[in-house]
Amino acid sequence: MALPFISTPGPITAVSTLLQSTLRAEKEQWLSTEGLAARRRIRLQQVLLRASETRYYGAALRAAGVTDPASFEPHELERLPFVDRRVIAQHGLEAFLSVERAGLIDVMTSGSTGTPGHFLRHKLEEADYSARWWRVYSAYGCSAWDTQINVAIADKPDRAGPITFLRRIGMLPRVERLASDAPPEEVLQRVRDLSPPILTGYAGAIEALAEHVLKTGTQVRPPRAVFCTAMEVTDRCLELAEEAFHAPAVDVYVTNEFGVVAWSCPSRRSVLHVNDDAFVVEVVAQDGTPVPPGTLGELVVTSLGLTSMPLIRYRMGDMAARLPQACECGRGLGLLTRVHGRTTHAIRRPSGALITTPLITSLFGRAQAHTWVRRFQVREEPGRHLRFLLDARQPPSEVQRHTLTEIVESSVGHDFKIAIEIVDHIPMAPNGKLQFVVPLPRSEQEAA
């Protein structure tokens, strides 16, 4: 997995690496748990050897008493410090690089945790990033030659890498990019024009498009699959997408830092397969200690392929739980619950328990409120108040409003005073995503 770099690889080298990475990714998902663990161990040691050449990780390894990265075991990762965007910004990108900066690809994140991220990647590492996407596409019967529409950021520039090169010379079809806040009727027209086998996009945009298809009764040629990314992918989103497009709806946990970390199992789409051949994924409590399988915590990811700018014990800010059982599909890849949102997008009860997007959507489901609520946002306010902002498709009846209020009160009314308000519009954030749960700023939480 750790790639032997050529300082300035040509397009043929990059494409060759892409093909090798894709074949390896296709094969390795079927390895046994033990086989994957052995490869993880070797790849982690290779990454640590490269990381020891950087200023930041070199100092961190010495401080942890790690003198021989080649004998390091995965369970020893707990000896190393966590890294996040603030740590990287504090020390500067150069402190994390094991190679010269010239020629590396800039990778930027939107700042949904409050701090935008800036990372660097080699073109050959970009090939590995693409190979993991192809693993997901292949699992759902898609191929690299399929046309696709992506409803996310319309003007997002293509990063340098083998996929961009192949699209530029016409060997692969270009991706049609549409804005996540584009009117659903415009997106639907492009979908009907192109009939793409691959439809992907931000979960909120896919949900809005699916609702429009169902509302208008428009007939759409079914894609092979609908891939939902970013934000929290809710049950409602997946159910509507499957109903509207008559195709599997897939939850893909993908980040700019790492690419595809986990994705819906084709045999059991309520759980995600972790790309265990490419990452070590830990789940930790608020204080950074490990939590047992089945317990919700923050995801901490170590890449086994990034060596130009290693990312070791990187705090994602996303919440999920590892699951201990093996999957009946036959893949050796471990299992993860669907992501429950970000740690910074959860409201904490006095007991410490979290109010997350899945909890809120379950309350709306029990109240059958999705029949009249288009979008919602829950905002925590001082004095232990929760304000539920509802973008309604139609005015609710007294019974509908009372039912929702009663169910919400029974779940969270013991800890908060509840207010339910109907508003004209709930805007997307500047990054094109919708934040469902908005807690108080940390400073106000501590003062409360």
Q: What is the pLDDT of residues 232-244, one digit of tens each?
A: 898 889 999 999 9
Averaged pLDDT, 123-134: 90
244, 210 Cβ separation under 8 angstroms: yes
Q: Name the pLDDT band for 6 (thresholds 50, 70, 90).
A: very low
Q: Name the pLDDT band for 8 (thresholds 50, 70, 90).
A: low
Q: Are residues 296 and 396 in the same domain?
A: no
Averaged pLDDT, 63-82: 96
Q: What percent of the chain has pLDDT over 90?
A: 70
Q: Are residues 328 and 351 in the same domain?
A: no
The 8-class DSSP code of residue 429 comes to: P
User: Would the pLDDT of 124 be above 90?
Assistant: no
364, 356 Cβ separation under 8 angstroms: no
Residue 87, C-beta contacts closer than 8 angstroms, at least 6 positions apart: 81
For tokens 């997008």, the residue is: 345
Q: Name the pLDDT band for 186 (thresholds 50, 70, 90).
A: very high
3 domain residue, yes or no: no
Q: Are residues 360 and 245 in the same domain?
A: no
Q: For the ranges 46-50, 201-205, 355-359, which has the lowest average pLDDT?
A: 355-359
**Which of 282, 308, 339 is the C-terminal boundary of a domain?**
339
Q: How far apart are CA 268 and CA 336, in angstroms?
A: 12
Given this model, what pLDDT does residue 432 score?
Answer: 67
Read off φ and ψ for residue 390, nearest 5 degrees: -120, 125
Averaged pLDDT, 185-197: 96
Query: Of the candidates 179, 215, 185, which has an alpha carbon nearest to the alpha carbon of residue 374?
Result: 215
**CATH number of the domain residue 281 falls in:** 3.40.50.12780
User: Would the pLDDT of 122 be above 70?
Assistant: yes
**Which of 339, 356, 376 is the C-terminal boundary of a domain?**
339
Q: How far apart are the first and last CA of the chain?
A: 48
311 domain residue, yes or no: yes
394 domain residue, yes or no: yes
282 domain residue, yes or no: yes
Q: Name the pLDDT band for 1 (thresholds 50, 70, 90).
A: low
Q: Are residues 102 and 173 in the same domain?
A: yes
User: Would the pLDDT of 51 be above 70?
Assistant: yes
Q: Are residues 388 and 429 in the same domain?
A: yes
Given this model, what pLDDT does residue 7 score?
Answer: 53
Lookup: tokens for 15: 């494409």
* DSSP notation for 347-388: EEPTTS-EE-HHHHHHHHHHTTGGGTEEEEEEEEETTTEEEE
2 domain residue, yes or no: no
1 domain residue, yes or no: no
Residue-wise pLDDT tens digits, 300-343: 999 999 999 999 999 999 999 999 989 999 999 999 999 988 77
Q: What percent of the chain has pLDDT over 70?
A: 94
Q: Name the pLDDT band for 18 (thresholds 50, 70, 90).
A: confident
User: Would the pLDDT of 112 be above 60?
Assistant: no
Lookup: tokens for 47: 């990454």
Q: What is the mean pLDDT of the chain?
A: 91
Lookup: tokens for 283: 């789940």
Averaged pLDDT, 28-52: 97
The 8-class DSSP code of residue 342 comes to: B
Given this model, what pLDDT does residue 259 score?
Answer: 94
Residue-wise pLDDT tens digits, 280-304: 999 999 899 999 999 999 999 999 9
32 domain residue, yes or no: yes
Given this model, what pLDDT does residue 444 score?
Answer: 61
Q: How far apart are CA 73 and CA 95, in angstroms?
A: 24
406 domain residue, yes or no: yes
437 vs 114, higher pLDDT: 437
Averaged pLDDT, 138-158: 90
Q: Are residues 149 and 36 in the same domain?
A: yes
423-429's contacts with Cβ under 8 Å and 24+ in sequence apart are 423/389, 423/390, 423/391, 424/391, 425/391, 426/375, 426/376, 426/377, 426/389, 426/391, 428/180, 428/181, 428/204, 429/112
Q: Are residues 308 and 381 in the same domain?
A: no
Residues of the domain holding 387? 346-447
Q: Name the pLDDT band for 114 (thresholds 50, 70, 90).
A: low
**Residue at 156: amino acid letter:** K
Q: How many structural domains are present in the chain?
A: 2
**Which of 290, 308, 339 is the C-terminal boundary of a domain?**
339
Q: Name the pLDDT band for 156 (thresholds 50, 70, 90).
A: confident
312, 69 Cβ separation under 8 angstroms: no
User: Would the pLDDT of 20 be above 80?
Assistant: yes
Lookup: tokens for 380: 């925590």
Q: Are residues 23 and 88 in the same domain?
A: yes
Query: Of the candidates 294, 297, 295, 293, which has an alpha carbon nearest to the alpha carbon of residue 285?
Result: 297
Q: Are residues 332 and 355 in the same domain?
A: no
Q: Are residues 253 and 274 in the same domain?
A: yes
**CATH number of the domain residue 368 falls in:** 3.30.300.30
Given this model, what pLDDT does residue 445 score?
Answer: 58
Q: Are residues 309 and 412 in the same domain?
A: no
Query: Bridge partners of 388?
Result: 378, 420
Query: Bridge partners of 176?
Result: 149
Given this model, what pLDDT does residue 187 score?
Answer: 96
Read off φ and ψ for residue 396, nearest 5 degrees: -75, 155
Q: Name the pLDDT band for 157 (thresholds 50, 70, 90).
A: confident
Q: Are residues 334 and 418 in the same domain?
A: no
